[in-house]
Amino acid sequence: MGPATGGNNVPGSGNFDVTQPVYENQDVLNIQDLLLLENRDRIYSPDVYVMRMVYRTQDVDFDLSQFGLFLNNDTLFMTTHYNDMIDIFGRKLMVGDVIEVPNLKDYHPLNSALPVALPRYYVIQDGNYASEGFSQTWLPHLWRIKATPLTNQQEYSSILNKPMTQEQLWDNGNFYPGGEIVNHSNTYYRAAQNVPAGTAITNTAYWTPYTPPTIGDLQSTRTKDLQINDDIVAQANVEVPLSGYDVSKFYIVATTDDGRPANPTSLSTMNGDTVDGTQGGMNVTPKSNGYTMGYLTGDGVAPNGLPVTPGVSFPVNPVAGDYALRLDYKPNRLFRYNGRMWIRIEDRVRTDLSNGPDNQTLRSGFVNNTHTTATTDQGNIPQRQSLSQALKPRADNGNQGGDLPPSPPPYYG
């Protein structure tokens, strides 16, 4: 029926784009994207037209005429009478139309719990007059189309998002056995038990809301692909939880002021400084990461797993050898008190590899930037803008996408 109408790209707004016009009426001749020549958000009619077509069945055969192996049985060439097509459908079958081939349904899928047989949808890729359909008067009588299997893409979302269930409208006067699924005002309900006639659909003892699987969930591998991808990412986070290298397992020898290795027994008491279990209280602790210092090794953890006091300020009354992690630094910074001042040890540069709120990399901060910049004449404009929007010429008095709620970036002193 054509691409979806309406949208946010209306003239006068900061997102206006003449290559994506806004149509008032739905028409099959409309083009959604004039630059890429695409109709990504297509609207398909819910009405089903029954039409007789002829095609030749094919065996699963390998095409050895080219390099590699190619299956050529997934393309159907179907023929129908031209006058019947116009009388039934109202126009010629064209590229983008979706047809269902009833005799190719999968009546015995591996998932025996499916309520109906799996349909087979094909998308028309080309249409023209059939060479064998010209009469003796050189007038065409047959229309020939080329169709390939429908794939789970954005263009066919209005078809693939439909529920995959036997359509049964709810009737208050009917009896329904337990497990029966009915449709009431485009909301599906499942019978929790045998439902006597006259039971209201709002009776929760008998009816529970139900969300049936969609055609796209059952017809494509997208659901399984997403599950496989999520499992791979989860296992990758287990094996490589942070960027860089983990050096916390290595023991760092503490050194005295003259550079000699300190006596390990003196780590618990020296010059009256004792371990209190919170701040450390160790006079002789490693003054750096030693030989473990490298690229992306800073994790904010003190050497040898010694105690660290995190916070937005340094601890009061520190003892020589104490460690403190300043959380108000970005990245977080680990300090060591040498008896007179706090000395920087390392920055916490190891972070999650997956994008998210815990990922503090520059890439994640750039991609997930939701902050705004306050201006005196255009309000709060977003800091993250696509290159096409940044380079687009606009009037000086435009709002530049402003008038957004304030969201200033955090301040790091």
Q: Which residues pair with 336 in a beta bridge?
A: 323, 343
* 17 part of a folded domain: no
pLDDT of 279? 43
Rounded distance between C-alpha atoms, residue 173 and residue 198, angstroms:
5
Shared domain check, 334 and 387: no
Shared domain check, 280 and 336: yes
Whether the Cβ atoms of residue 385 and residue 400 lie closer than 8 Å to each other: no
pLDDT of 7? 52
**pLDDT category of residue 65 using cuts at 50, 70 and 90:** low
* 288 part of a folded domain: yes
How many Å is the Cα radius of gyration of the chain? Answer: 34
DSSP code, position 23: P
Whether the Cβ atoms of residue 407 and residue 371 lie closer than 8 Å to each other: yes
> Is 90 exceeded by the pLDDT of residue 84?
yes
**In this predicted model, which residue has the larger pLDDT, 111 or 319?**
319
Shared domain check, 340 and 394: no
> Is 80 exceeded by the pLDDT of residue 334?
yes
* 181 part of a folded domain: no
* 332 part of a folded domain: yes
Rounded distance between C-alpha atoms, residue 97 and residue 49, angstroms:
12
**How large is the average pLDDT for residues 171-179?**
89
**In this predicted model, which residue has the larger pLDDT, 384 or 150?**
150
> Is 60 exceeded by the pLDDT of residue 399?
no
Name 12's Cβ contacts closer than 8 Å, sequence gap at least 6: none
Give tens-digit pLDDT for 192-203: 999 999 899 989
* 39 part of a folded domain: no
> Is 70 exceeded by the pLDDT of residue 114?
yes
pLDDT of 85? 94
Per the prediction, the chain carries an average pLDDT of 82
> Is 90 exceeded by the pLDDT of residue 394?
no
**How large is the average pLDDT for residues 85-101?**
93
Shared domain check, 312 and 373: no
Shared domain check, 373 and 338: no
> Is 50 exceeded by the pLDDT of residue 94?
yes
Domain hosting residue 398, numbered range? 369-413
> Is 70 exceeded by the pLDDT of residue 10?
no
Report the range out of 282-286, 312-316, 385-389 with the highest average pLDDT: 312-316
pLDDT of 270? 44
247-273: string of b/e by CB count within 10 Å (b at 16+)? beeeebebbeeeeeebeeeebeebeeb
Structure pTM?
Answer: 0.63
**pLDDT category of residue 6 using cuts at 50, 70 and 90:** low
**In this predicted model, which residue has the larger pLDDT, 144 or 350?**
144
Shared domain check, 375 and 313: no
**How large is the average pLDDT for residues 386-397?**
67
Give how many domains the chain has, as a whole number: 3
Q: Per-residue DSSP letters for 264-308?
A: GGGGTEETTEE--SSS---SS--SS-GGG--TT---S--GGG---
* 329 part of a folded domain: yes
Name 351's Cβ contacts closer than 8 Å, sequence gap at least 6: 242, 243, 331, 358, 359, 360, 361, 364
**How large is the average pLDDT for residues 203-208?**
91
**pLDDT category of residue 22 using cuts at 50, 70 and 90:** confident
Farthest-apart Cα atoms in the chain, separation? 114
* 225 part of a folded domain: no
Give tens-digit pLDDT for 267-294: 544 444 433 333 444 567 888 888 888 8
* 411 part of a folded domain: yes
Name 318's Cβ contacts closer than 8 Å, sequence gap at least 6: 279, 324, 337, 342
